[in-house]
A and B are shown apart, each in its own frame.
Chain A
């Protein structure tokens, strides 16, 4: 799927800091025309989101070595072992995530979880914060407009 800015006839680019899926598996992705700056958001329902997730790919791009072992299984399997939940890439050491924030980020679909983490951490860094909690995540969601 590709997005075209009709006035500029230019391909719109995925905005890496603009992906903030809701925890109930509704995905929101932003695309921006680099020529005129116009932005749009693509919103998907949870079934559309899940169909993308079954590919095992990550929106916003990722390097192959960063792909998480059993990423789709661990994020989707109900009643899986605790160890599966730890397969997500480690959070950057500079931040302390509260239990609530960890739980919320874990509910984000696997294939956009890294992007969501980056978005939250980038927001925290801009604010000079080292602690990420539920309130901060609410603010991030407000900021990206979803």
Chain B
């Protein structure tokens, strides 16, 4: 009797060819994007999305074309932060879906843009017996489709706003092997540093390049006198960077204006470049650009 290897093809479905074709489609999108950078943290609530939006704006101000893939499928916020209306119609044809164009012409793809209403959660099925394994496999498929079916066009930078935790980086790394690197973000609290240190270790083991560690919410800046005060008690974040042997690329003060969704078509950085926070964002952006220039 013949064995599996003796049989050529799979009887007509050509699954392997189809999977290869999907890979080629993804490659054709990614080849038009010069640099892909992920912003991540093991910990939630450290301001990843707000920073991503403002770093994107800073890159635009330096003359770069920028897109953001919101990889936080279950907690998407990039579309909201950058002014994509929830009721904005989708433009889809056989070649793909057009990204949303947010503030400063930043191209965006986010699960938020696909949902009927802003308060709708991302649910892959409304059947209660759906298994966790099923949801997990759907999420990795969705990420591939968001990346490969979005008509990003030519971009200098694609920033990937990662969800909390370090598990999604496996997905991103397999989809984007040429990922320039990841920016790790923490706040000064010992708990956040504890969790982020695991994320850094994982990236190191997986040989994912780490661009550097950003200390967010490092201090509080008085909006009246610009004086800085400490917000969290904790260990020195620079010490964490030293221990993990990665660059410490800056500290951003806590500034509630950073997380405000744009209402004017402009994000915080563009209107506050000279503020303490604006300068800190610019400094982090310069470090990212420096890393990429050095790598090239």
Q: Report A83 CB to chain B, min CB distance, Å.
A: 4
Q: A47 → chain B, closest Cβ, in Å?
A: 7
Q: Which of B12-20, B53-61, B189-197 contacts A (4 or more CB under 8 A)?
A: B12-20
Given A2-B4, A70-B114, A72-B138, 8 additional A-B pairs, CB 8 A: A57-B18, A60-B13, A67-B25, A69-B149, A70-B146, A78-B126, A79-B116, A84-B90
Bits for A46-90, please: 1 = Cβ < 8 Å to B, else 0: 010011001111111111110111111100111111111011010
Decide: B10 and A4 in contact? CB cutoff 8 A: no
Q: How large is the interface on A (under 10, 10 to 19, 20 to 34, 35 or more residues)?
A: 35 or more
CA distance A57 to B126 in the complex (A): 23
Name A residues whose Cβ lies closer than 8 Å to a Cβ of B: 1-4, 6, 9, 11-14, 16, 31, 47, 50-51, 54-65, 67-73, 76-84, 86-87, 89
Contact between A6 and B149, CB atoms less than 8 A apart: no
Q: B239 within 8 Å of A by Cβ?
A: no
Residues of B within 8 A of A83 (CB): 89-92
Per-residue interface assignment for chain B, residues 133 to 151, with 1 indicating a CB less than 8 Å from any chain A CB and 0 otherwise:
0100110111011100100
Q: Closest residue of chain A to B96, judged by CB?
A: A69
In the assembled complex, which residues on chain B have CB atoms less than 8 Å from the CB atom of A87?
Answer: 92
Q: How far is the CA of A79 from the CA of B21 in the complex (A)?
A: 29
What is the chain A residue whose CB lies nearest that of B136? A54
Q: Bound state CA distance, A78 and B14, in angstroms?
A: 29
Q: How far is the CA of A57 from the CA of B20 in the complex (A)?
A: 10
Interface 1/0 per residue, B1-38 and A, CB below 8 Å? 11010011111111101110110110000000000000
Give the residues in chain A near B95, CB-CB below 8 Å.
69
A90 to B114, CA, bound (A): 20
- Do A76 and B19 have beta carbons less than 8 Å apart? no
A2 contact set on B, CB distance < 8 A: 4, 7, 10-11
